[in-house]
Structure 1
Amino acid sequence: MVWGLLVLAGIEEVIATIAMKYVNGTKKKLPLVVMTVGFIFSFYCLASAMQVLTAGVAYAVWTGIGSIGITLVGTFWFKEKLHLSQIISLLLILLGVIGLKMTA
């Protein structure tokens, strides 16, 4: 349950970050609302997970999911370039998240 909350927090962080890319000052209301609600929900789920998991593990997993998720979205949705060094770095983040999950 706690790990599900943490995954949900990470996914919601990615959704909120995507919306952030579409915010144009205050001209576009929907992306601003999605971003605000998304980050609030993400922080709520993260805080709930921290009630059981240590802060370091929860935060590292949350940021790892967010980093990998938004990089994949940027690559496939926004057509941003992804270099070999970035792929290796993301794989190291993934290994770290898996290691934290296995040892928590």
Structure 2
Amino acid sequence: MAWFVLFVAGVLEVVWSLGLKYTEGFERPVPSVITGVAIVASMGLLAHATRTLPIGTAYAVWVAIGVVGATIGGTVLFGEAMPPRRLAFLVLLIVSIVGLKLTAAP
């Protein structure tokens, strides 16, 4: 269950990181509220997951989900570049996430 909670926390990190672009410096109320709620929920779920998962593993996986999601989201939503080397390093990050999952306790 902790891994599922951590995954949801990571997805919410993607939501808030991409949401920052939509807030326009927190001047747009609706995107700002959505982003704020996603930040709080993401951190809360991360904290919950660390009750049973090692903090280093949980934090690394949470950040990695956010990095991969925000990078792909930035490409899809905002037309940001995705050169082959960037994609290769994202693949390495995903391999690292899988490795952390496979070597972690609970």
TM-score class, shorter = over 0.9
- CA distance, structure 1, for counterparts of residue 70 and residue 37 of structure 2: 17
Matched residue type, 2:27: K
Pairs within 5 Å for 1:1-104? 1-104=1-104
Please list the CA deviations of residues 67-97 of structure 1 after superposition, one character each: whole Å capped at 9, or x if unmatched: 0001111111111111111111111110000
Matched residue type, 1:47: A
Stretches of structure 1 that go unaligned for 5 or more consecutive residues are none
Please list the CA deviations of residues 2-57 of structure 1 after superposition, one character each: whole Å capped at 9, or x if unmatched: 00000000000111112110112343101110111100000000000111011100
Matched residue type, 1:75: T
- CA distance, structure 1, for counterparts of residue 27 and residue 51 of structure 2: 38
- CA distance, structure 1, for counterparts of residue 65 and residue 81 of structure 2: 19
Matched residue type, 2:15: I
Matched residue type, 1:102: L
Stretches of structure 2 that go unaligned for 5 or more consecutive residues are none
Superposition TM-score, scaled by structure 2 size: 0.94
Matched residue type, 1:76: V
Corresponding residue SS for 1:81:
coil
Higher mean C-alpha displacement, 22-31 vs 43-52: 22-31
Superposition TM-score, scaled by structure 1 size: 0.95
Alpha carbons of structure 1 residues 74 and 102: separation in structure 2 relative to 1, 3 Å: same
% identity of equivalent residues: 38
Q: Which runs of 4+ in 1 moved over 2 A?
A: 24-27
